[in-house]
Homo-oligomer: A and B are copies of this chain.
Amino acid sequence: MSQTPPAVTVAQIAGMIDHAILKPELTRAEVDAQLDIAAEHRIFSVCVRPSDIAYAVQRLAGSGVAVGTVIGFPHGTTSTAGKVAEVRQALADGGVELDMVVNIGWVRSGLLEQVEQDIRAVVEAAEGRVVKVILETALLDDEQIAAASAAADRAGAHFVKTSTGFAGGGANLHDLAIMKANVSERVELKASGGVRSLDTVLEMLAEGVTRFGTSGTATILDDLAGRIAGSTAPGAVDETSY
C-alpha cells in the first residue's frame, strides 16, 4: 500500500506553471492576491491580462517569477494588426511570454494560409520571445486541431496550447496527442483549461506536456509536497491507489 513517490520535485513542477490571472472582472486587489500566490510558490510565470503587465512586473520584481500575457484573447478574431500592436505594448510593458489565440473562425473555415500568416506576424513582432498558440480545442474537431497545430509550427511558434479557459471544455489527453503528432520536436505543449489537480498534471507530464496553465497552482503544488512527504512516511495512505 505504500505509494511510489512522484518522480518530480515541487520545484520542477513549479517551473512549468503559468499561473493564470485572466478573468476580466478581477479587481486590482484580487490580482494582488494571485500575484502573491505566484511569488510564494516560485512558479515559472504569471499569465496576466494585457492591461496588468506593467503592474505585475513591478509587483513581482525580485521574485524570480516571469510575467506573460495573452494576445487576441479570448476570441482570436482580433485583426492581425491589432494582435501585433498588443504584442509591442506587451513587450514595452515588460511581458516576456505571449499566449496568442488562433483565429478560430479561419481554422474552422480551412483558411490555413491566413491562420499561419496571423501567427507569423505575432512571432515576428515578439522578437524572439516565447509565443504560445492557443487553439481553443473545445471549438475544433480533430482535423482542425491537427491543421492548426501544423500551421503554428510552420509559423515559428514555440508552443501549441489547448485552451483559453473561457470557451468551456479544456485540456485533455486526446487533443494533446493530436497536437503532439502534428508539430515538430522543437514545438512544446502547454495544457490549460480545467488543469486543477496534481493527478491531471502528472498524467499530462507523462504525455510530454512541458507547461501548465492553471489557476490551481497552490492546490497542485501543496498536494505534490504532501504526496512526496507522505510517500516517505510509514503508514502513509495513498488514496489514488484504491
Which residues of A come within 8 Å of B, CB atoms?
22, 24-29, 31, 49-53, 73-82, 84-86, 88-90, 93, 103-106, 108-109, 111, 136, 139, 167
**Which of these, B52, B77, B88, contacts A51 with CB under 8 Å?**
B77
In the bound complex, what is the Cα–Cα distance between A86 and B50 (angstroms)?
14
Docked-complex contact B79 and A26, CB < 8 angstroms: no
Q: Report 23 cross-chain contacts, Cβ distance below 8 Å, ordered by A residue.
A: A22-B75, A24-B74, A24-B76, A24-B105, A24-B139, A24-B167, A26-B105, A27-B108, A27-B109, A28-B105, A28-B111, A49-B75, A50-B77, A51-B78, A51-B79, A51-B106, A73-B78, A74-B75, A78-B86, A79-B90, A79-B93, A84-B85, A85-B85
Instruction: Given A27-B109, A105-B49, decide whether A79 and B74 contact each other with a Cβ distance below 8 A.
Output: no
Instruction: Given A82-B82, A86-B85, A89-B81, decide whether A109 and B28 contact each other with a Cβ distance below 8 A.
Output: yes
Docked-complex contact B79 and A89, CB < 8 angstroms: yes
Complex: chain B residue closest to A92, CB-CB: B81
Docked-complex contact B50 and A78, CB < 8 angstroms: yes
Docked-complex contact A88 and B77, CB < 8 angstroms: no
